[in-house]
Amino acid sequence: MSTPNPAARVPLRGAVDLAAVAAAREAQAKAEERLAQQGGAPTSSALVLDVDEAGFQEVVDLSFRVPVVIDFWATWCEPCKALSPILERLALQDAGRWVLVKVDVDANPRIGQAFQVQSIPAIFAIVKGQPVPLFQGALPEPEVRQYLDELMRVAEANGVTGRIDPEGAVEGDAETVLDDEPVGDPRFDAAYDAIENGDWDAAEAAYQAVLSQTPADVDAKAGLAQVALLRRTEGADPETALAAAEAAPDSLEAQALAADLELLTGRVDESFDRIIALVRRTSGDERAAARDHLLGLFLLVGDDPRVTRARAALASALF
């Protein structure tokens, strides 16, 4: 998928299979109406919604028109009380460029489990039906804004440029208007379709075709990295992989697979730290291979403070 976000240079498939894209596309025209009917009443406007398990599919459908930001919270969570108002305020300020969805993890545990939420507050996004891990913990507003701005760039690169009309979306109003359906970059259509079909060979070929015309295309390179990650993790069980990594701390194969799965499920720092620790413990060809694997993960995550910190830690581990 064309360029990525704070947590993945391309929206990653495999961490959570949220919906069949074909079915979601068919439902796009009715997404907002169904969200109003089944997904819970808006808290302050149609830009800030409380959603439960029954209405979550409508959130996925809506993500084909505008980015959806998910705030996982609970009533007992003190940091959530600091972060949630920031997110709500920014959602209203951005006037329909994205929608904030609030999910109470106590009332809707299966949604939290699907995203493998380990602690709250945890903030994810959905773009074109694909999960996009953003950050965990209560961050100050300027940092939250940076993540949201990057998410908007990711969404635009993937052709998600609709807007909800906040003027016609007062509390309880079911008539929220969306802009015309955006058109994505047609150069990547074949790759997108192949990824949705799980055809990694065809996806690689499609991205390589783009690179043959524009060898420096960052989006195509990131797409190839995504396909490689999906191929490596296909059929892998996260619990089994993490247990194997714990049992074999010096195994590049075990640690690399565990790091891949951690990245897919939004545990970006843990993924990076795992491979950096392996770099510290190894030498020679194995160290070089571990470094190269980590550089590939950096490509997926892109321009993100976590990459900056991890690059500094990697340099320290190497030298």
In terms of Cβ atoms closer than 10 Å to its own Cβ (0-12, 13-18, 19+), residue 306 is: middle
> Is residue 98 annotated as a catalytic residue, yes or no?
no
- Asked if the peptide bond before residue 121 counts as cis, ω within 30 degrees of 0, the response is yes
Q: Look at residue 45 in the predicted model and tell me its pLDDT.
A: 58
Q: Could you tell me the residue ranges of all domains in the chain? A: 21-168, 185-234, 235-319
C-beta atoms surrounding 29 within 10 Å: 12
126 beta partners? 68, 131
| pLDDT at position 173 | 32
Looking at residue 30, its pLDDT comes to 37
Least confident of 7-16, 63-72, 292-301: 7-16
Residue by residue, DSSP assigns 245-266 as HHH-TT-HHHHHHHHHHHHHTT
The pLDDT of residue 163: 83
- Rounded Cα–Cα distance for residues 263 and 272 (Å): 8
- The fraction of the chain above a pLDDT of 70, given in percent, is 79
Q: If pLDDT is split at 50, 70 and 90, which confidence band does 171 have? A: very low
Mean pLDDT is lowest, of 112-126, 152-166, 189-203, for 152-166
CA quadruple 101, 58, 198, 253: dihedral positive or negative?
positive
User: pLDDT exceeding 90 applies to what percent of the chain?
Assistant: 37
Confidence at residue 116, expressed as pLDDT on a 0 to 100 scale: 84
Per residue in 299-310, pLDDT (tens digit) is 888 777 888 889
* pLDDT-derived band at 165, boundaries 50, 70, 90: low
Q: What is the average per-residue pLDDT within 99-128?
A: 90
CA distance 68 to 109: 19
Query: In which band, very low, low, confident or very high, does the pLDDT at 166 lie, cut at 50, 70 and 90?
Result: low
CA distances from 255 to 15, 231, 237, 317 (A): 18, 16, 14, 16
Is 287 assigned a catalytic role? no
Question: How far is CA 274 from each of CA 261, 267, 278, 297, rounded to the nearest angstrom?
Answer: 11, 11, 6, 12
What pLDDT was estimated at residue 219? 81
pLDDT for residue 184: 54
Stretch 93-120: mean pLDDT, rounded? 89
Catalytic residue among 46, 77, 264, 307: 77
Report pTM: 0.48
Q: What is the mean pLDDT of residues 208-222?
A: 87
148 — pLDDT class (breaks 50, 70, 90): very high
| CATH code of the domain occupying 21-168 | 3.40.30.10
Looking only at the bridges linking them, the beta strands covering 48-50 and 99-104 are: parallel
* Contact partners, residue 6, CB within 8 Å, separation at least 6: 132, 133, 134, 135, 147, 150, 151, 301, 302, 304, 306
* The one catalytic residue among 21, 35, 80, 276: 80
Q: Which two tokens stand for residue 297?
A: 């993960």
Look at 78-92, 148-162, 170-184 and tell me which has the smallest mean pLDDT.
Answer: 170-184
Residue 7: HSE in the Cβ half-sphere, 13 Å Cα cutoff: 29
Report pLDDT digits (tens) over 59-90: 888 888 899 999 999 999 999 999 999 999 89
Which sign does the torsion angle of CA 209, 129, 258, 292 carry? positive
Q: What pLDDT digit, counting tens, does each position of 226-250 carry?
A: 889 889 988 888 889 999 999 999 9
